[in-house]
Amino acid sequence: MAERRRDGRDMRDGVREAEAAQGGSVSDETARAWAALVATARRTVADGLVVGTSGNVSVRVGDTVLVTPSGVPYDRLTPEDVVGVDLTGRQLLGTLTPTSELPMHLAVYRATDARAIVHTHAVHATAVSTLVRELPLIHYMAGDLGGPVRVAPYATYGTEELAGNTLRALTDRTACILQNHGTLAHGATLGQAYDRTAQLEWMCRVWLTASSVPGLSPTLLSEAQVSEAGERLEGYGQRG
């Protein structure tokens, strides 16, 4: 179902109008992508993965990266708020300032095959980031993220240093945890990036819960077991 504006109109129509007002034209693909981005951003709030305007979402359409704007509550986003940049950060669409974490998003797009990114300040993952350098292998779904999920060393938000730390933590992975900060996951679609984000937060919650039992330590999996599960997960679900 298409995302609807507060006035009941299709959000894609508003994106086209906003772009036309700037003297350009926007493709149906871009309009659909912006509507999906807004829906995903709102879902991060509804599911408790972010608070207020924390976190951010982006999606790549060709060589244009659509991103949430800085400091705008997701429930207030409209089609006219569309923000798009090229892979160098030059603004192509909209007048609002892109998210402050733009360097991190662009670094991931330039270095990987990511088509969508979800960054959150999820509670359990952020707690884990203060305790360990890598999420212990508490569940085989780590295989869907490429293996043990690393914690990127802390750096000030919005900096190239944080972008570099994130890229290193993402080597051969599709998600990582940011120390004293949150999470980042990418995927081929917004849905996949979001699902990986939610899965990572769930695994962090499981590990924290199991680790909190006095006198007991959680049983962990080996990297070989997680790798085997990851291979099986590649063929999981319906085909075609």
Catalytic residue from among 3, 19, 101, 201: 101
Residue 183: enclosing H or E segment and its boundaries? strand 182-187
Question: What is the distance of C-alpha 115 from the center of its chain?
Answer: 10
Give the whole-angstrom CA distance, residue 218 versus residue 220.
6
**Quick one: tokens of 163?**
């972008």
134 included as an active-site residue: no
Give the whole-angstrom CA distance, residue 103 versus residue 99.
9
As a whole number of Å, the CA-based R_g of the chain is 18
Strands ordered across the beta sheet of 84-85: 91-93, 84-85, 64-67, 56-61, 116-120, 182-187, 175-178, 151-152
The DSSP 8-state label assigned to residue 142 in this structure reads G
Annotated catalytic residues are 101
